[in-house]
Amino acid sequence: HDLIHYNLKSSNIMLDGSGEAKVGDWGLAKLLPLLDRYVLSSKVQSALGYMAPEFTCRTVKITEKCDVYGFGVLVLEVMTGRTPVEYMEDDVIVLCDVVRAALDEGKVEECVDEKLCGKFPLEEAVPIMKLGLVCTSQVPSNRPDMSEVVNILELIRCPQDSPEAELG
C-alpha cells in the first residue's frame, strides 16, 4: 500500500555509502494516520516551504500529493542551491515563485546553481525544474503521482529511449 511521509525536506534525505538517497524521519507518517489523515496546520511542526498548501486547510484530506509537493520543492532546492523560503528584512521570497517567474520570463536557466555547472547536464536542468514546478502546483489534482514523476525523470535522463524518439 502507499506510504505518505508528510514531511519531505532536504534535512530528511540522507545518502548511504554508495551515494543512494534514503528518506528518514518517518515520525509524522506514523502520527498523522492516527489523526484520520486530517491535519490542523498548528499541529504540524515542519519547515515552511516544503509543506503542500492543503496542510493549512482543515477540510482538505491529506493525500500522497503532499509528498509530491515536497519532492517538487526538493527538486527546485537541489537545482537552484536555494532554500524553499528566504526571509528578507521586509519580504518573504518563496523559491517556487522565483523559479515560476523565471520560467515565465524564459530565464529559468539562470536559476540553476553554479555549483552544478560541469557536474550536471544543463540540457536536463530546464525540464527537471519544470517538473519541480508541476509537482508544486497549488492544486493537488494538478500534481503528477510519484510513478509519473519517475517516468518523467527517466525520459529526461534517457530521451532516446522514449517512444517519440523511436518514431523519429
When divided into structural domains, the chain yields a total of: 1
Contact predicate 113/98, CB 8 Å:
no
Report the pLDDT value the prediction gives residue 14, as an integer from 0 to 100. Answer: 72
Q: Is 56 within a domain? A: yes
Residue type (1 letter), 31: L
Read off the pTM: 0.71
pLDDT at position 38, please?
A: 45
pLDDT digits (tens, 9 = 90+) for 5-61: 556 666 677 777 887 767 666 555 555 545 544 444 434 434 566 677 776 666 667
pLDDT for 49-92, tens place per residue?
667 777 666 666 777 888 899 899 999 998 999 988 888 888 88
Question: Which run of H or of E encompasses 13?
Answer: strand 13-15
Q: How confident is the model at residue 4 (pLDDT cuts 50, 70, 90)?
A: low
Task: Give residue 63's domain range.
Answer: 10-167
Answer yes or no: is 4 within a domain: no
Q: Residue 151: which CATH number?
A: 1.10.510.10
